[in-house]
Amino acid sequence: MKRRVVLAALAIGVGLSLLLLLLAYAYESWCAERIYFGVQVWGIPVGGMRPSEAAAALEAELAELPQQTLLLNGPERSWEIQALNLGLKLEANATAWAAFRVGRAGNERLLDHLQLALDGRNLAPVLSYDDEAARLYLVTLAREVDQAPLDATFVLEDTTPVVTPAQAGREVDVAATLQALRAALGRPGTWSVDLVLRTLSPQVTNTAVACEQVASMLSEPFLLLLPDPREGDPGPWRLAPEELAALLDVWVEGEQFQVEVDARGLQRHLEGLAPELAVEPVNARFHFDDRAGELVPIAPSVDGRALDVAGSAQNVVTALDAGWHAAPLALQVLPPPYPDTATAAGLGIEGLVVEGDSYFIGSPSARDHNIRLAASRFDGIVIAPGETFSFNDYLGEVSAEAGYQEAYITVREGLAYDVGGGICQVSTTAFRAALWGGYGIIERWSHLYRVGYYELRGYGPGFDATVYSPYVDFKFVNDCPAPLLIETEVEDANHRLVFRFYSVDDGRRVEVEGPAVTEGESPGAPIYQLDESLPPGTVIEWQSAQNGLNATIERWVYDASGILLYHNVYVSEYAARRAAYHYGPGYEPPGGEE
């Protein structure tokens, strides 16, 4: 009995196994042309369908897919776009065949297929879209999203730095966003894609260095100092922070601002100091030693100076870079053309070339004093070749402060006292030296009235030259190839003033004719002037009457080869002058004239 039961059980077991094998064979055979059960596309079951059937079912179920909205999310807003606008299309056949290949990897068995039927597998459809259309859409959209980075800014308002911090920019990474778009389209449900953004860094971000530089530079006034100042020199000069701030230049280097002084602006500022710092060099003064044929200094030379604007500006920049608030001005030493080390041979001065003189016998003490003082202004000066000698320039200020005294001068038809009377004796003597020396005389004025001093010891009228600074001057040019040394001397024994010119004898020859004299107008009636200081009834002659007169002097100057250099005609027109009398109280002038 047991044996029968066992055999029956075995038979049933074998039968069931055969049945299962037959069922498995039947299932696998049935699925050979169909998609395995459990396979879905976006939740749409396609198991048991042939690929063509699955493709048709998917086309029916997903017919509205191109109308679905895609949401693009930006940093501040979102944009909706229909999939149709991206050229989205369901590839139904490709999707169906992708579903058909599930479970057919080659190493899968019946149990795997049964597990697939139980667990299921949801596939994404195979979609295609116009990649170029999507790219162009994103490029257009980027114009609304992209923001350029903003560099930091730094400006000075008065002495205050005004800073704007840097801001990063952004731009849509189109390629990365397209990848995210492709991934999103493979997911069921609402499509939402975040724009992929790249951060754009500004180039200039650091303002700290510039702020520190400005704070240091403008923390206190900047001093401009004069090195080795002379007595009476100006300075020091202060650059207020506001003034210095106006001279600062802000520029960018790498990621940060730098601050430096605008060199040109600083130089323009310093140029304003140049005039008050300028000191003209002073030539030495010399006498000529006739025996030794050499120059003997009688007054030392003095170096001049000028402001070195570029060098001073560099000193300021260097000081500010070092954090200092003072800098020395740079000065240029200007050596004089004729230092006290000059020699006669070096200058080409060979000896005396001409001498001019005049006499002031009988001059009052004040006039005598003024003549000597004025003559000393010209003693030992050197006139360079081609230089124009100006009497007034070398004479300088004529005032009591300069040492001059009141003496007789001619005013209209009379004599008067004024500071500097007698100076024309000196200009007259200089004129005579230049006249006989053959130098080119470019400015000479005769006196309005004849002066007796200028016609002493054989000189006729017309050999005088008046000056009245700054309007009336006597000038001549040193047209010789060597410098001209002027010596002046007063011979006390006979009250003779002498101008001696030392230079090189270039062979020129001078001929002078005249004066040719013609009578002018006659003087009018005498002038009587009341002088309360005179005793009652007293009358004295103040000046004598003088007829008018015209005097003409001609000069010819020839060079060494006989070629005419100058032909000059000097016409002096002297006005008539009435006699003048001073009288005391109680005197009645003739005819009641006064």
**Any idea what the CATH number is for the domain that residue 289 is in?**
3.10.20.800
286 and 370 part of one domain: no
Structure-derived torsion over alpha carbons of residues 523, 524, 525, 530, reported in degrees to the nearest 10:
-80
Does one domain contain both 428 and 508?
yes
Identity at 407, one-letter amino acid code: A
Do residues 273 and 375 share a domain?
Answer: no
Residue 401 φ/ψ, nearest 5 degrees:
-65, -30
CA of 525: how far to CAs of 444, 528, 540, 591, 592, in Å?
31, 10, 16, 10, 11
Answer whether residue 449 is part of any domain: yes
What does the alpha-carbon distance between residue 235 and residue 219 come to, in Å, rounded to a whole number? Answer: 21
Residue 418 counted as domain residue = yes
Query: How crowded is the C-beta side of 478, counted as CA atoms within 13 Å?
Result: 22
Q: Is residue 384 part of a domain?
A: yes
Residues 377, 305 share a domain: no
Specify whether 268 is located in the same domain as 302. yes
Please give the residue range of the domain that contains residue 490. Answer: 352-592
Decide if 404 contacts 420 (C-beta within 8 A). yes
Cα–Cα distance for residue pair 582/571, rounded to 1 Å: 33
SS3 378: coil
The answer as to whether 193 is a domain residue is no
Same domain, 227 and 369: no
Contact 579, 545 (CB under 8 A): yes
Quote the CA–CA distance of 552 and 514 in Å, as a whole number.
Answer: 6
Work out whether strand 326-328 and strand 222-225 pair parallel, antiparallel, or are unpaired: parallel
CA distance 122 to 55: 15
| 285 and 372 part of one domain | no
Residues facing residue 580 across a β-bridge: 527, 543
- The reply to whether 206 falls in a domain is no
Give Cα separations from 152 to 19, 155, 208, 446, 451 (angstroms): 84, 10, 11, 77, 84
For residue 128, count other CB atoms closer than 10 A to its CB. Answer: 12
Residues 192, 69: Cα–Cα separation, whole Å: 9
Q: What is the pLDDT along the chain (594 residues), one digit of tens a residue?
A: 677 777 777 777 777 767 767 776 778 788 888 998 988 988 889 888 998 988 898 888 877 777 777 888 888 888 888 777 777 778 889 988 988 888 888 788 878 788 888 888 888 888 777 778 888 888 988 898 999 999 888 887 888 888 888 899 999 999 998 888 888 776 776 688 898 999 998 988 888 888 888 888 888 999 999 998 888 889 899 999 998 988 888 888 888 888 888 888 999 999 999 999 999 999 999 999 999 999 999 999 999 999 999 999 999 999 988 899 999 999 999 999 999 999 999 999 999 999 999 999 999 999 999 999 999 999 999 999 999 999 999 999 999 999 999 865 665 555 555 677 899 999 999 999 999 999 999 999 999 999 989 999 989 999 999 999 889 999 999 999 999 999 999 999 999 999 999 999 999 999 999 999 999 899 989 989 898 999 998 999 878 888 999 999 999 999 999 999 999 999 999 999 898 898 999 998 886 455
For residues 509 and 565, membership in a common domain is answered with yes
Q: At what angle do helices 92-100 and 51-61 cross, to 10 degrees?
A: 130
Assign 420 to helix, strand or coil: coil
Q: Facing residues of 78 across strands?
A: 73
Domain boundary residue, one of 300, 334, 368: 334
Residues 358 and 413 in one domain: yes
How many separate domains does the chain show? 3
In a domain, 15, yes or no: yes
Residue with tokens 């039947």: 26
Residue 55 within any structural domain of the chain:
no
Q: Do 326 and 385 belong to one domain?
A: no
Same-domain check for residues 265 and 308:
yes
Phi, then psi, of 105 in degrees rounded to 5 = -80, -15
Within a domain: 492:
yes
One domain, residues 539 and 392: yes
Which three-class secondary structure state does DSSP give residue 409?
A: strand
